[in-house]
Amino acid sequence: MVSTKIVVAGGFGAGKTTLVSSVSEIPPVSTEAVMTEASREHDDTSITPDKVTTTVAMDFGRLTLDQELIMYMFGTPGQARFWFMWDDIVRGAVGAVIVVDPRRLADSFDAVDYFEKQQSIPYVVALNKFDGQLDYTIEQIREALEIAPEVPIVDFDARDRRSAGGVLTCLLEYAISRPKSGELVG
């Protein structure tokens, strides 16, 4: 039995906890806490007014891909005040999914920058379609977030198990296809 670790990252309220919850075969471990008035001055809920909780440490889920491979998913908190944990959460990961709320692209800049600097960790960008549609094309979003052409960008619905599973499949295929350190490219 082989296990692998992936990270689910992104901005505040983008759908990270929902993605982990929708695909995990075990009840996900979640560190959701009720948002207080003190956090409201730091966390913009104008687009997500029904959001009343937030991740304060990490989410954890598990998915058995086949008899030989188990995937462990670690979801990061999205707010800047919790970013000090990201290096520890990311250590040992084979890849990352950056969940993006396409209505709030600016909230994703820091997560994209983080994984751009962690060049040893392949990542994909997953556009969470909250209202069932995208207001911009994938290429417009790629340009706005300055995502390299080789990085996959997919749209999905974090609430839908099959759709969220497709994002994980995309990440694993991309991670496997990348040259390993010391491997010749060409």
What's the predicted TM-score (pTM) here? 0.83
**Structural domain contains residue 44:** no
**Structural domain contains residue 48:** no
**Structural domain contains residue 183:** no
Between 80 and 136, the more confident residue is: 136
Q: Is 43:35 a contact under the CB 8 Å cutoff?
A: yes
Q: What is the pLDDT of residues 151-173, one digit of tens each?
A: 999 999 999 999 999 999 999 99
Q: What is the pLDDT of residues 1-50, one digit of tens each?
A: 889 999 999 988 899 999 999 999 999 877 666 655 655 555 555 555 56
Provide the domain count of the chain: 1
For residue 111, the domain's CATH number is 3.40.50.300
Q: Which domain holds residue 129?
A: 2-31+57-177
Task: Say what the pLDDT of residue 13 is.
Answer: 86
**Structural domain contains residue 80:** yes
Q: Report d(CA 22, CA 157) in Å as an integer.
A: 10
**Structural domain contains residue 115:** yes
Task: Say what the pLDDT of residue 186 is.
Answer: 41
